[in-house]
């Protein structure tokens, strides 16, 4: 085996390892959200004479933020296709769009939280609100981590271009971002839709 | 500026804690002075602290855990002294409040910073070798895991010096007692953050080890040809990745209740304390299997090697391991049958608990059948194994008793329960670790542990164990609840408590023998020197030279059968192939130490509500993670020549 094909084999082994490792990490994150969802399910009626979900959720706004997050996942997919085609311009546009939409999503969430706390419905008002803020806030924290990661990733591609390592990092970032999208679908359904229904 | 921290809140409140702090402080100073005097700091930093070699990380895990074992034993001694002697005295040096701190610390230390630490240490040392790998999948992540464990341990011990108190809420800190209202001091926060930090380390290790096993096995080693210890690591680490996130969430919610005044587990505003109990045991029950499964794996290796036979019933062993790890998710409610879940709920969890005894029984019989018609060598590892079979079986039987809700209602929260879980944890996990210690020690040092002192330690532990925990079963039946700092002398319990105290003294004698054994064996290492395969082993870890070089295997072996090294040894005629090639290894790096330090700062800052410092810690962690992910050129190369010279040297010095 020549040195070049040896290092190509090592790169592909690393990609394999990194993606399996990241899948496993996502499963642990899944357990984390499962615990928070279970907590929310137990406490969603424990409003302690405070407001229930139906009283405070702004469903249209949440629908907008859901669409924003879904589109950002689409943009992230475009960046991944760009990686496959080794098309730097496509990667750059995809990542930029993902970032902008992610910031928009997070801003809406911060607005929603600030609004609720101003009304006096903060996380210390009732067990229901504690569970709500924690579940949704944990998702938001993940988005924030994703945005920081995305900024670093942009810098990596700008400085170092497309190589085995940056490709690996973009691939697992894509997994992360799609995963957060999936979790949000559950948040939207279980917290907001079911919350307004009941 | 310093949050809740001030001179009044920071200093130890009682004389016993103060004494402990002074002793610990002096010990630390002595070590620092000696290190400085002998100019060993650079050596320590370059060869140990920054090392990414799993063998060195494993040894550091075990060293830290051994120190923590001594602290946990000191706590146990205080508990026993109180119950045997001081309880009926007017002026006990152990106040009720201190007693509560001591039993909380004893449980927390023994589970998180002894048992978990030793298990991760042994996995680091053995698992990569057994699968014929040169490293783990993510070497830097492995170091970070260790340093998070270390940071948690440090927080746990700093609680004595700064703040002067640990949690008084027991090792699992049930609310509402652990809530802000009833535990306003920093003790519970110390508990939360030392577990949170080390728990995240455990989670990352779980991912790392699983990926290592799934992707880095040697050519030919299919899953069903893996050594059984490696299988036990799979079972245990699967549990880690599934349940440690639950612990993370539970601790976070409790922490939110205490800092942001949310209402997850409070008794008012809709909070639900029983939800905490459910969540913590959804983690906690699998946790005990996380501890015991690797011990099962160690025993399987020891029995096969010291009986000179292949392990009986390999396939059923694997299925039993996996069955136990699946079933362990379905039993958590047996920790609180008295919650009032109702007869059907209790019956379900009772039956599931009893079912777990079946795969466990399969394993015990497999080990016994491995001994049957084997050429049994009664060396120390084998003695630990045989002691384990007896004590663990007794512990298992009392566990099945506790699984009957009717019996549980009677002995719930009594010393019967305490005796039961010490029976399985000491008889299972601790004996397992000692067996592995005696068995694998020569592989990494080149010399054996002194046999006579090892046997003396074993018998002291075994006899001491029976005396220390036998009386607790009886006391439990007599109605003695756990965590009791005083009782009415007319109950007539003191005699049994004194017997238990004597038992502990005999255990301490065993520990003394172990310390002497280590020192004596190092001193006499020339006479105790052995070759790379002292037990006539069967698995790949015995195929390398001793001490194991950093790269483990100069030429990677190909595997055809289950006991891969045994197979190699049978093919004697094959001449050793002596062509070496260059090997790539990770470079040393300080990132692990820095991430550990930043996590310590975060934990400490949140405990004391020093918010600016917490932000600094978070920012430092983020920057460190980004920098380490951008780290290029993280590998060094050992040329074929260097490998050859190391190999010649190591194989040449064979005893």
pTM equals 0.96
Distance, in angstroms, between A58 CA and closest chain B CA? Answer: 23
**Assembly ipTM:** 0.96
Q: How far is residue B278's CA from residue B284's CA, in Å, rounded to a whole number?
A: 9
Q: Stretch B334-352: mean pLDDT, rounded?
A: 94
Is A1's pLDDT higher than 50?
no
What band does B410 get if pLDDT is binned at 50, 70 and 90? very high
What band does B634 get if pLDDT is binned at 50, 70 and 90? confident
Is B339 within 8 Å of chain A by CB?
Answer: no
Chain B residues with CB under 8 Å of A43 CB are 264, 270-272, 275
Chain A residues with CB under 8 Å of B208 CB are 21
Distance, in angstroms, between B146 CA and closest chain A CA? Answer: 18
What residues does each domain of chain B span?
7-377+531-652
Q: What are phi and psi of A9, to 5 degrees?
A: -65, -40
Instruction: Note whether B275 contacts A130, CB cutoff 8 Å.
Output: no
Identify the closest residue of chain A to B202 by CA–CA distance.
A28
Q: What are phi and psi of B584, to 5 degrees?
A: -100, 130
For A136-188, the pLDDT digits (tens) are 999 999 999 999 999 999 999 999 899 988 999 999 999 999 999 999 999 99
Which of A20, A130, A152 is opposite residue B264, by nearest beta carbon? A130
Residues B405, B337: contact at Cβ < 8 Å?
Answer: yes
Which of B211, B252, B270 is opposite residue A126, by nearest beta carbon? B270
Distance, in angstroms, between A21 CA and closest chain B CA? Answer: 6
What pLDDT was estimated at residue B572? 65
**For testing the chain A interface, which of B140, B211, B585, B626 should be mutated: the one with the most A CBs within 10 Å?**
B211
Is B615 within 8 Å of chain A by CB?
Answer: no
Q: Stretch B167-183: mean pLDDT, rounded?
A: 94
What pLDDT was estimated at residue B576? 59
**What is the helix (H) or strand (E) element at residue B626, kind and residue range?**
helix B611-630
Identify the closest residue of chain B to A121 by CA–CA distance.
B262
Q: What are phi and psi of B169, to 5 degrees?
A: -100, 15
Q: Stretch B159-163: mean pLDDT, rounded?
A: 88
Block residue for tokens 């756990």: B482
Is B147's pLDDT higher than 90?
yes
Instruction: Note whether A35 contacts B249, CB cutoff 8 Å.
Output: yes
Name the class of domain B7-377+531-652.
mainly alpha
- Domain holding A143: CATH number? 1.20.120.80
Is B406's pLDDT higher than 90?
yes
Asked if the peptide bond before residue B547 counts as cis, ω within 30 degrees of 0, the response is: yes
Give helix B228-259 / helix A127-160 axis angle, nearest 10°: 120
Best CA proximity match to B164, nearest among B8, B52, B372: B8
Chain B residues with CB under 8 Å of A183 CB are none
Is B333's pLDDT higher than 60?
yes
Is B345 within 8 Å of chain A by CB?
Answer: no
Q: How far is residue B67's CA from residue B238's CA, in Å, rounded to a whole number?
A: 28
Block residue for tokens 């070089």: B549
What pLDDT was estimated at residue B59? 97
* Longest distance between any two alpha carbons in chain A, whole Å: 73
Is B49's pLDDT higher than 90?
yes
Identify the closest residue of chain A to B212 by CA–CA distance.
A17
Size of interface A-B (CB pairs under 8 A): 110
Is B79's pLDDT higher than 60?
yes
What band does B64 get if pLDDT is binned at 50, 70 and 90? very high
What pLDDT was estimated at residue A129? 97
Determine what percent of chain B is predicted with pLDDT higher than 70.
Answer: 98
Q: Stretch B8-27: mean pLDDT, rounded?
A: 83
Instruction: Note whether B271 contacts A16, CB cutoff 8 Å.
Output: no
Instruction: Note whether A46 contacts B261, CB cutoff 8 Å.
Output: no
Instruction: Note whether B207 contacts A25, CB cutoff 8 Å.
Output: yes
Residues B298, B122: contact at Cβ < 8 Å?
Answer: yes
Own/partner contacts of A166-170, CB < 8 Å, gap of 24 or more, are A167/A15, A167/A83, A168/A14, A168/A15, A168/A18, A169/B629, A170/A79, A170/A80, A170/A83, A170/A91
SS (H, E, C) B104-120: HHHHHHHHHHHHHHHHH
Instruction: Note whether A31 contacts B245, CB cutoff 8 Å.
Output: yes
For B457-475, the pLDDT digits (tens) are 999 999 999 999 999 999 9
Q: Which domain holds residue A123?
A: 3-197
For B28-41, the pLDDT digits (tens) are 999 999 999 999 99
Determine what percent of chain B is predicted with pLDDT higher than 90.
Answer: 82
For B515-551, the pLDDT digits (tens) are 999 999 999 999 999 989 999 999 999 999 988 999 9
Identify the closest residue of chain B to A13 by CA–CA distance.
B215
Is B279 within 8 Å of chain A by CB?
Answer: yes
Is A67 within 8 Å of chain B by CB?
Answer: no
Residues B619, B517: contact at Cβ < 8 Å?
Answer: no
Is B518 within 8 Å of chain A by CB?
Answer: no
Question: Token pair for residue B647?
Answer: 């190999």
Q: Please, how many CA atoms are within 13 Å of residue B157, restricted to the half-sphere of its CB?
A: 23
Identify the closest residue of chain A to B237 by CA–CA distance.
A24
Query: Does B567 or B124 have the greater pLDDT score?
Result: B124
Question: Token pair for residue B421?
Answer: 């879980």
Name residues whose C-beta falls within 8 Å of residue B211's C-beta, 6 or more positions apart in sequence: A17, A20, A21, A24, B137, B138
Residues A172, A146: contact at Cβ < 8 Å?
Answer: no
Q: Stretch B585-606: mean pLDDT, rounded?
A: 96
Identify the closest residue of chain B to A164 by CA–CA distance.
B632
Which of A10, A124, A152 is opposite residue B263, by nearest beta carbon? A124
For A121-141, the pLDDT digits (tens) are 999 999 999 999 999 999 999
What pLDDT was estimated at residue B655? 41
Q: How far is residue A72's CA from residue A78's CA, in Å, rounded to a whole number?
A: 10
Is B574's pLDDT higher than 60?
no
Is A110 within 8 Å of chain B by CB?
Answer: no
What band does A88 get if pLDDT is binned at 50, 70 and 90? very high
Provide the number of structural domains found in chain A.
1
**For testing the chain A interface, which of B206, B264, B329, B584 should be mutated: the one with the most A CBs within 10 Å?**
B264
């Amino acid at each position: 085996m020549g040195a070049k094909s040896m290092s190509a084999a090592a790169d592909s082994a690393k990609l394999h390892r990194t993606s399996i490792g990241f899948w496993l990490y996502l499963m642990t994150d899944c357990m984390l959200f499962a615990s928070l969802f279970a907590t929310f399910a137990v406490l969603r009626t424990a409003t302690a004479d405070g407001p229930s979900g139906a009283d405070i959720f702004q469903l249209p706004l949440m629908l907008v933020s859901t669409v924003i997050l879904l589109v950002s996942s689409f943009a992230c997919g475009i960046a991944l296709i760009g990686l496959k085609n080794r098309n730097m311009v496509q990667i750059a546009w995809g990542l930029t769009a993902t970032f902008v939409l992610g910031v928009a999503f997070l801003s809406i969430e911060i607005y929603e939280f600030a609004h609720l706390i101003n009304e006096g419905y903060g996380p210390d008002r009732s067990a229901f609100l504690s569970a709500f803020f924690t579940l949704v806030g944990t998702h938001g924290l993940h988005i924030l981590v994703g945005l920081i990661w995305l900024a670093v990733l942009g810098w990596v591609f700008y400085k170092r271009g497309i190589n085995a390592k940056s490709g690996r990092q973009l691939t697992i970032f894509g997994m992360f971002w799609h995963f957060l999208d999936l979790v949000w679908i559950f948040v939207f359904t279980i917290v907001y839709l079911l919350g307004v229904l009941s | 500026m310093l949050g809740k921290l001030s001179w009044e809140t920071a200093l130890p409140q009682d004389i016993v804690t103060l004494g402990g702090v002074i002793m610990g402080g002096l010990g630390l100073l002595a070590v620092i002075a000696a290190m400085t005097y002998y100019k060993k700091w650079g050596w320590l930093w370059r060869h140990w602290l920054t090392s990414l070699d799993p063998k060195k990380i494993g040894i550091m895990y075990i060293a830290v855990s051994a120190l923590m074992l001594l602290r946990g034993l000191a706590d146990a001694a205080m508990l026993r002294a109180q119950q045997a002697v001081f309880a009926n005295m007017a002026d006990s040096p152990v106040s009720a409040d201190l007693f509560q701190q001591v039993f909380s610390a004893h449980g927390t230390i023994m589970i998180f910073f002894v048992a978990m630490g030793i298990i991760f240490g042994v996995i680091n040392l053995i698992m990569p070798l057994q699968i014929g790998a040169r490293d783990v999948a993510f070497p830097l992540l492995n170091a970070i895991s260790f340093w998070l464990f270390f940071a948690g341990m440090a927080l746990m011990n700093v609680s004595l010096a700064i703040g002067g108190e640990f949690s008084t809420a027991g090792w699992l800190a049930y609310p509402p007692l652990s809530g802000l209202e009833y535990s306003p001091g920093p003790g519970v926060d110390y508990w939360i953050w030392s577990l949170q930090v080390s728990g995240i380390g455990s989670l990352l290790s779980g991912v790392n080890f699983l990926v290592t096993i799934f992707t880095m096995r040697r050519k030919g080693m299919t899953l069903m040809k893996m050594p059984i210890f490696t299988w036990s690591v799979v079972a245990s680490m699967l549990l880690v990745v599934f349940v440690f996130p639950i612990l993370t969430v539970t601790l976070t919610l409790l922490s939110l209740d205490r800092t942001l005044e949310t209402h997850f587990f409070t008794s008012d505003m809709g909070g639900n304390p029983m939800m905490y109990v459910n969540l913590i045991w959804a983690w906690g029950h699998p946790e005990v299997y996380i501890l015991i499964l690797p011990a099962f794996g160690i025993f399987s290796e020891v029995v096969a090697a010291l009986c000179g036979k292949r392990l009986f019933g390999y396939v059923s062993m694997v299925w039993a391991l996996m069955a136990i790890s699946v079933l362990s998710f379905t039993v958590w409610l047996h920790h609180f049958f008295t919650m009032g879940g109702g007869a059907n709920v209790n019956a379900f969890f009772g039956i599931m608990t009893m079912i777990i005894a079946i795969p466990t029984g399969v394993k015990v019989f497999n080990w016994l059948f491995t001994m049957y018609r084997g050429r049994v060598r009664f060396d120390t590892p084998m003695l630990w194994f045989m002691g384990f079979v007896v004590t663990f079986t007794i512990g298992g039987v009392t566990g099945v008793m506790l699984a009957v809700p009717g019996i549980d209602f009677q002995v719930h929260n009594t010393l019967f329960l305490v005796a039961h879980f010490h029976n399985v944890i000491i008889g299972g996990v601790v004996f397992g670790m000692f067996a592995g210690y005696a068995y694998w020690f020569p592989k990494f040092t080149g010399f054996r542990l002194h046999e006579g002192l090892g046997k003396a330690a074993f018998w002291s532990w075994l006899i001491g164990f029976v005396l220390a925990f036998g009386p607790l079963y009886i006391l439990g039946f007599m109605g003695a609840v756990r965590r009791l700092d005083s009782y009415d002398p007319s109950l007539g319990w003191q005699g049994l408590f004194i017997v238990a105290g004597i038992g502990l003294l005999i255990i301490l004698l065993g520990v003394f023998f172990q310390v002497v054994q280590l020192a004596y064996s190092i001193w006499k290492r020339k006479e105790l020197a052995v070759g790379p395969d002292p037990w006539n082993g069967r698995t790949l870890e015995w195929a390398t030279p001793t001490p194991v070089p950093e790269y483990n295997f100069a030429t990677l072996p190909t595997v055809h059968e289950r006991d891969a090294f045994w197979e190699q040894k049978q093919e004697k005629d094959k001449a050793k192939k002596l062509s070496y090639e260059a090997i790539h290894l990770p470079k040393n790096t300080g990132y692990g130490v820095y991430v550990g330090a930043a996590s310590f700062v975060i934990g400490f800052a949140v405990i004391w509500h020093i918010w600016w410092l917490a932000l600094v810690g978070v920012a430092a962690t983020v920057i460190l993670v980004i920098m380490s992910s951008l780290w290029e050129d993280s590998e060094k190369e050992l040329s074929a020549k260097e490998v050859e010279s190391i190999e010649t040297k190591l194989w040449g010095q064979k005893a």
